[in-house]
A and B are shown apart, each in its own frame.
Chain A
Amino acid sequence: MVPFIFLASSIFIPFNDNWHHIAENVLLDYFVNSLSLAIGVGFCTFIIGTTTAWLTSVYDFPFRKIISWLLLMPLAMPAYIIAITYVGIIDSTSFLPDIRNLFGAIIMISLVLYPYVYILARGAFLEQSKELHENSQILGASQFQIFLKVSIPMARPAIILGVTLAAMEALADFGTVEFLGVPTFTTGIFRTWFGMNDTVTATQMATLLLSIVFIFVFIEQQSRKKVRYSENIKTQSKLNYRITSKKNNFFIAVICIFPIAFGFIIPFLQLIYWSIFISNESWDSDFFSIVNDTLLLAFLASIIITIISLLITYIKRFSPKSITNKFMQIITLGYAIPGPVVAIAVLIPFAALDNYINQILVVKFNFSLGLIFSGTFFILIFAYCIRFLTVSSRTISSGLESISLATDDAAKSLGASTKNILIKIHFPMLKTSLLTSFLIVFIDVMKELPLTSILRPFNFNTLSVKAFELASDEKIADASNAAIMIVLAGIIPVILITKNILGKRNKV
């Protein structure tokens, strides 16, 4: 929390020359680009996500089951990696249009984020009642009309939620736009901070970006409430009919394979090709020490974050109205805050604290500890906490919600102490969510780029930073080894998500 109060206070610092320079020349560009990116990604993910969700939930076509699963695969591909890959592909051919522009960035990011909309819309479509659809048919509506006039409006809260999530992620993106050379708020902050060495202006820009982000957060939270509301309505029977028309079968399958091919298969095969035939980087001990460092960092961060989330969720359960709980809700907004903003928000106060402590030590004892917080793992993990606490605490709290309060009461009435309730009932029932939370954070940390590259200790590298550095140095093919590792790790949560969805379906 403190970092953000600090951030917000920056607007009271008078604007300096750099601010005026930026405001006059590039701020509008940043604003327009960031917003176009968010809206463009929102639009594209809406089109791809709802179309594929509709086709896979209503039509029957060859390989439908495997295709509806594969449609989630692009989630495993970080946007900056897909961008690196496509730039590499395009550079090696002569007839493809350049993607190093805003349009390219929108396409790249949408190709890997549409699964958000796809998952949520598909869930909502499948919940819709069969009777409603049959009724619409009897009243003479065509399949397309049902899609537009019945299914989409009914699934609107879920779709809006997915689209906002994608838009927020686009707004927070750093790697892709930096690599494709699109000036946005995130890259602007980075440039002002490190290029111009002007922390004040960078902070003020971060605050501005943050206020835009909060508008999206507001929309997202509103739609989340509605999603909950609509899920409460029990439908008589689930939408489970399938339309088969031989004529269109092949065509539908092809439409659904498109996003899988472009969002996952083509870039992944390209990475493998580079890794085997072109890359100069070998799988040597240097590479494995980076792998080792990455895994260690991710392990540490996910353990810590999972434990903190567990504490937060328990506070929420036992004192739902306490101030701590309100406070926690604010903390868990972190997922929406772009990496560079988090970095700036934590680095400045901790650097000041370090300076302060060292000054005192030098004056009083004539010795210096050096950097205690900034430039160490502490600040990096602290920043990860801000960013990933939400994902983790949502996972755990949904697990905890499945343990009804009556269960606790029942255990108490049978004479169990609080400790016994936790050990014998809660822990066994929470095991899966704890593991899921751990894995999701683990992989998020592995993929994370801007925070890690700004806050990492000197001489410390992760796979994502390494891949991005190599790619930025025009050694795109050399980045492939690290990229493949990240994508492979990213497949794990995708499988987890599908299992989770399927699991829920089976229970119903």
Chain B
Amino acid sequence: MNKKLIISDLSLDFGKDKNNRKILSNINFDLEESEIGCILGPSGCGKTSLLRAIAGFENIISGTILKDGVCISNSLENISVQNRKMGMVFQDYALFPNMDIKSNIAFGLKGMTKADKEARVNYLLKLVNLDKHKDKYPHELSGGEQQRVALIRALAPSPEIILLDEPFSNIDADIKEDLVTDVRVLLKELSITSIIVTHDQYEAFNIADKVAIMNNGKIEQIGNAYDIYHKPVNKFVADFIGLGVFVPIVKNENGIFETPLGLLDKNKFHKDEMKYKNLEMLLRPDDIIHNDESSTKAIVIEKQFRGAEFLYKLLYNDKYPLLCYAPSHHDHRIGESIGIELEIEHYVIFEK
């Protein structure tokens, strides 16, 4: 077993809830050494609580958390936060406002000579290009700079795992993309095992090796970005990730499945999917191709200009809404009827 972190059957509640509602139930998740994991879910789904349980701030009611095969949390025992060798970056960074940047970073350094501490602080500051700010105070820095300070402060004592709670939520959109990439590069360079909690799927897809989708205190799916987008295991994941619409599937008199847009290939079905009666299919905007020649027509009801392409919201056969990306030189009016055709790589089918 060379897993860095294993969480099994973890449950958590805050005790005082009237309905004895669990904040987290039966969480299973693991990470390899130096893997970057992401917990992605809507707000209030319990993702921050999970992170805090891993950090040791919350006591779990059942299950175990193993680090390097050693139990650090179960229902009876909790290794204290201070002894877990984990670093954490908080949502609003929680920099100590009474200390300058270098003291903030040096705060967690123990058992080192003064010179060693200084060298470590300077090394980390250089790593994120903040060396000229070391004598400033947190409030004198911009949001992005504060975030980087929080990150290297957490990294300073060389933790074995680093936990990041919504690290990019206070960052302006225009610099966020670069920052997400920078952080990934940095974490990979230091080859440190990391967990990031976020509600932003693009952040999750860009930074993580492995994404866990969480809803209502449960993990719905674990996988890489491609699988989660193209092979969602349930309707929640399909809905939460990316754009898409659902169309009904019916079995015609010849025993062939069809959607309002055409017949389906039986070979692309899973066996158990064919047993159910009421099925529906997820159609992503990239499953529907705009083609002026096509005889299948749909009416444009909304459109969004996205630079290189348009996102068209269409209405097919007066009752089925569809989404379709088209290159932006295909500029159609609202109300116009345009040609479309289906091109589906994987079928994503759920019972209604």
Q: How far is the CA of A424 from the CA of B81 in the complex (A)?
A: 18
Given A414-B108, A414-B153, also A409-B96 (CB < 8 A) = no
In the complex formed, the residue of A with least CB distance to B89 is: A410
A507 to chain B, nearest CB (A): 8
B94, A410: Cβ atoms closer than 8 Å: yes
B88, A409: Cβ atoms closer than 8 Å: yes
A415 within 8 A of B: yes
Most buried by B among A414, A415, A429: A414
Q: Give a binary string over B89-112; 1 marks a CB under 8 Å from any A CB, 0 the rest.
A: 011101111100000000110100
A413: chain B residues within 8 A (beta carbon): 55, 81-82, 86-88, 154
Partner of A406, one of B81, B90, B107: B90
A415, B108: Cβ atoms closer than 8 Å: yes
Q: Give a binary string over A409-431; 1 marks a CB under 8 Å from any B CB, 0 the rest.
A: 11111111100000011001100
In the complex formed, the residue of A with least CB distance to B86 is: A413
A459 within 8 A of B: no
A404 within 8 A of B: yes
Chain A contact residues: helix, strand, loop or mixed: helix
A407 within 8 A of B: yes
- A-B CB contacts (within 8 Å), total count: 53
A408 to chain B, nearest CB (A): 8
A429: chain B residues within 8 A (beta carbon): 97-98
Q: How far is the CA of A411 from the CA of B92 in the complex (A)?
A: 14
In the complex formed, the residue of A with least CB distance to B110 is: A415
B57: chain A residues within 8 A (beta carbon): 409, 412
B94, A409: Cβ atoms closer than 8 Å: yes
Partner of A415, one of B91, B92, B94, B157: B157
Q: Give a binary string over B140-173; 1 marks a CB under 8 Å from any A CB, 0 the rest.
A: 0000000000000110110000000000000000
B157, A414: Cβ atoms closer than 8 Å: yes
B48 to chain A, nearest CB (A): 11
Q: How far is the CA of A407 from the CA of B97 in the complex (A)?
A: 9
B92: chain A residues within 8 A (beta carbon): 404, 406
In the complex formed, the residue of A with least CB distance to B150 is: A410
In the complex formed, the residue of A with least CB distance to B162 is: A413
B21 to chain A, nearest CB (A): 18
B95 to chain A, nearest CB (A): 8
Q: Give a binary string over A33-73; 1 marks a CB under 8 Å from any B CB, 0 the rest.
A: 00000000000000000000000000000000000000000
Partner of A409, one of B90, B108, B110: B90
Q: How far is the CA of A404 from the CA of B107 in the complex (A)?
A: 17
B94: chain A residues within 8 A (beta carbon): 404, 406-407, 409-410
* Total residues of chain A contacting the partner, CB 8 A: 16
A417: chain B residues within 8 A (beta carbon): 82
A411, B86: Cβ atoms closer than 8 Å: no
Partner of A428, one of B88, B98, B153: B98
Most buried by B among A413, A416, A425, A428: A413
B90: chain A residues within 8 A (beta carbon): 406, 409-410
In the complex formed, the residue of B with least CB distance to A412 is: B81
B96, A407: Cβ atoms closer than 8 Å: yes
Q: How far is the CA of A416 from the CA of B81 in the complex (A)?
A: 9
In the complex formed, the residue of A with least CB distance to B159 is: A413
In the complex formed, the residue of B with least CB distance to A404 is: B94
Q: How far is the CA of A270 from the CA of B98 in the complex (A)?
A: 46
A416: chain B residues within 8 A (beta carbon): 82, 107-108
Q: How far is the CA of A306 from the CA of B92 in the complex (A)?
A: 31
Q: How far is the CA of A417 from the CA of B86 in the complex (A)?
A: 15
A322 to chain B, nearest CB (A): 13
A411: chain B residues within 8 A (beta carbon): 96, 107
B156 to chain A, nearest CB (A): 8
Q: Which of A187-208 contact B (CB under 8 A)?
A: none
A136 to chain B, nearest CB (A): 33
B87: chain A residues within 8 A (beta carbon): 413-414
Q: How far is the CA of A428 from the CA of B100 in the complex (A)?
A: 13
In the complex formed, the residue of A with least CB distance to B82 is: A415
A428: chain B residues within 8 A (beta carbon): 98
B86: chain A residues within 8 A (beta carbon): 413
Q: Which of A94-153 contact B (CB under 8 A)?
A: none
Q: How far is the CA of A425 from the CA of B98 in the complex (A)?
A: 7
B250 to chain A, nearest CB (A): 52
Q: Which of A320-363 contact B (CB under 8 A)?
A: none
B55: chain A residues within 8 A (beta carbon): 409, 413
A504 to chain B, nearest CB (A): 14
Most buried by A among B82, B86, B91: B82
Q: How far is the CA of A409 from the CA of B81 in the complex (A)?
A: 9
A425: chain B residues within 8 A (beta carbon): 96, 98
A409: chain B residues within 8 A (beta carbon): 55, 57, 81, 88, 90, 94
Q: How far is the CA of A415 from the CA of B96 in the complex (A)?
A: 14
B222 to chain A, nearest CB (A): 25
B110: chain A residues within 8 A (beta carbon): 415
A406: chain B residues within 8 A (beta carbon): 90-92, 94
B97, A410: Cβ atoms closer than 8 Å: no
Which A residues are within 8 Å of any B CB, using their own CB?
Answer: 404, 406-407, 409-417, 424-425, 428-429
18 more A-B residue pairs beyond the given contacts A410-B90, A413-B88, A413-B154, with a C-beta to C-beta distance below 8 A? A404-B92, A404-B94, A407-B96, A409-B57, A410-B88, A410-B153, A411-B96, A412-B82, A413-B55, A413-B87, A414-B87, A414-B108, A414-B153, A414-B154, A414-B157, A416-B82, A416-B108, A425-B96
Can you offer 15 A-B residue contacts whose CB atoms are under 8 A? A404-B94, A407-B94, A409-B88, A409-B90, A409-B94, A410-B88, A410-B153, A411-B96, A411-B107, A413-B55, A414-B108, A414-B156, A415-B110, A428-B98, A429-B97
5 nearest CB pairs, A to B: A414-B108, A410-B94, A406-B94, A413-B88, A428-B98
Which B residues are within 8 Å of any A CB, using their own CB?
Answer: 55, 57, 81-82, 86-88, 90-92, 94-98, 107-108, 110, 153-154, 156-157
